[in-house]
A and B are shown apart, each in its own frame.
Chain A
Amino acid sequence: MPRLAPTDAPALACRGIERSFGGLKALKGVDLEVRPGEIFGLVGPNGSGKTTMVNVITGFYPPNAGRVALFGDDITGLAPHAITRRGIARTFQNLALFKGMSVLDNILVGRHIHMHPSVLGTLFYWVAAVREETAHRTVVEEIIEFMQLQEIRHEPVEVVPLGLQKRVELARALAAEPRVLILDEPMAGMNQEEKEYIARFILDARDERGVSVLVIEHHMDVVMAICDRVLVLNYGETIAAGPPAEAMASPKVIEAYLGHSAARRQLRAVS
């Protein structure tokens, strides 16, 4: 359960994270620190280990070495559902919504850790469960309003357009009232307008709901615009870190994205 941490503790701190799959070293000692109230970008070319890093933090792949701490509490090696209860929520690169359920029910599942599901509660719905359901429905309706999903709340989630599905998934993650929100490519496959919407929601979530955000994103314009700091990974190693403009201008990053000669041209242009 959430407990008050010293205010100077980072929201999320990863130290020396290593993880391999068979002979492949996906992460080779990565350090990462998200400060409270920060929007932190995790970028890098395809296959650089970004999603693996998120899977390590959320407990899907326990690290081979290194520690993960949430507001000073060690959460290394906990099961994903236990980590969620400590206050981390995430979305997936490829949508992971529950088909056959309405948008509303999908977001209500996000309230799971705050509810008390039971067999008897289901049987005697009218005695107690109805009050709990109503209370949490009220919270969910606030999030629906915040994310502007009122029009589609009763639609089956699979008939909703992709851009809105991404928004529903973000709403479901916010419904858990996390302290740290991890977004794995929230804007993949979106047009400019949808991207701007999501960017606005991420900023609002940070400003109004006080969550710290770790975001994986390929759209550099968005990363530059909303991230306070970034970490650039390549082949499982940190190649740059810091404010986005600085980090992205680093020769190593340009080399990783565009190759040797591009990096040399860039250096010559600067000097």
Chain B
Amino acid sequence: MFYRQAGIRYTSYPAERQLWPLGIERVLMGLILALALIAPALLSPLLLSSYLLPWVIWSIAALGLNLLMGGAGQIHLGYAAVMAIGAYSATHAARAGLPFELSLLVAGLASAVIGVIFGAAALRIRGLYLAIATLAMQYIVDFAIGHIPAISGGTQATVATPTPRILGIPVEGPVGGYYIALVVCIVVTLFMLNLRRTSFGRALAAIREKDYAAEILGISAFRYKLMAFWTSSFIGGVAGAILVFCYYRSVSPEQFHLETSVQLVAMVIVGGLGSVLGTFLGAALILLAPLALSALVASLASSGLPIGSDLRAHLPLVLYGALIVGFLIAEPLGLAKLYDNARKYLLVWPFRHARS
């Protein structure tokens, strides 16, 4: 097919370690980037603001979570709380008159600091116990936001976010918001891609696989677990801020409840732990699947099946659960692995076996 490795010879180590070693893949990536850049001109405003924009933003958040779960092997069930901290601190910083760029930085730092405090639990506990500790973070942050009027603006309150200004120029509408999200998404994506070929990423992977062997190679588990939580929470905070500034345009506590955390974990697992491409695929599937499902249920309901509104409201959660369980059983490495299988098949097609 159009995929071929034969005949490619590298003459330097950096060339061998480039992100997309095959020419065809570089062309493909360039094409996707170009499409992403001109998307506002191609898509209707409705498609852009209700499908593409949330996909880009949730991909940023899921990438941040994947750094922690796939990269460093630490589970986090309270990632929505991390995003909430970023969302609220950016909103309040911007309302206090800070420029948007600095508000994003404030969001990242606030989330990183609080995220590291809860992540410190990971130094002593792992697996199921860490899951419970991060779940506690979700509830504590929910509680703190809901009960401190200075943060939430009062019970059941919604705080409007100011219009983001880049270098003093107001960026309005879904198109502006889309470009802000896209730039952040590209930066985070590049970071995640580079993780695989730098010593920092290898140190995290070493901690994930065997922490005692990592220690004996000079990698302090203490330091690197905290760094993983710090970096991941920073990305989460920025993603939360982007979400409320560019998509919701207001911030309220119910945007960041446990369901959102579960949704993010589902994106990472369905997409593929540790895979950048998988994260994008996972985010797309988790965002689109409920829409497709409710369309299906709606058509079933209109054709006379007795389906209550309760069931319809909870079906997406059932679906996330089913997807997570299904992928963990059938393909634990997620959509990324499915893509990889197809890629490897095409690399040697029409033959069946070859060293990849």
Contacts and interface: CB of A to CB of B under 8 A. Distances in A.
Contact of B203 (A89, A97, A112, A176): A112
A137 to B, nearest CB: 5
A81 B217 CA distance: 6
A132 B274 CA distance: 24
B83 to A, nearest CB: 19
B194 A134 contact: no
Secondary structure dominating the interface of B? helix
Contact of B13 (A99, A125, A138): A138
B187 interface: yes
Contacts of A134: 12-14
Interface in B168-200: 187, 190-191, 194-195, 197-200
Contacts of B199: 108, 111-112, 115-117, 121, 129, 132-133, 136
B95 interface: no
A137 B205 contact: no
A90 B212 CA distance: 11
A101 interface: yes
A92 interface: yes
Contacts of A267: none
Secondary structure dominating the interface of A? helix
B202 A109 contact: yes
Contact of A101 (B194, B202, B218): B202
A100 B215 contact: no
A121 B198 contact: yes
B25 interface: no
B200 A119 contact: yes
A49 interface: no
Interface in A133-159: 133-134, 136-138
Nearest to B200: A117
* Interface band, chain B: 20 to 34
A118 B200 contact: yes
B191 A81 contact: no
B233 interface: no
Contact of A117 (B12, B203, B214, B274): B203
B215 A109 contact: no
B216 A84 contact: yes
B209 A117 contact: no
A117 B205 CA distance: 13
A119 B231 contact: yes
Given A84-B217, A133-B13, A123 B209 contact: no
Interface string A61-84: 000000000000000000111001
B353 interface: no
A201 interface: no
Contacts of B205: 98, 100-101, 105
Contacts of B198: 117, 121-122, 125, 129, 133
Given A81-B217, A133-B13, 9 more contacts: A80-B215, A80-B216, A98-B206, A98-B213, A112-B203, A113-B217, A119-B231, A123-B190, A134-B14
30 contacts: A80-B212, A81-B215, A81-B216, A81-B218, A84-B218, A89-B217, A96-B212, A96-B216, A97-B213, A98-B205, A101-B205, A105-B205, A109-B214, A109-B217, A112-B202, A112-B203, A112-B206, A117-B202, A117-B203, A122-B194, A122-B195, A122-B198, A122-B200, A125-B198, A129-B194, A133-B13, A133-B14, A133-B199, A137-B13, A176-B217
Interface of B: 12-14, 17, 187, 190-191, 194-195, 197-203, 205-206, 209-210, 212-221, 227, 231, 274
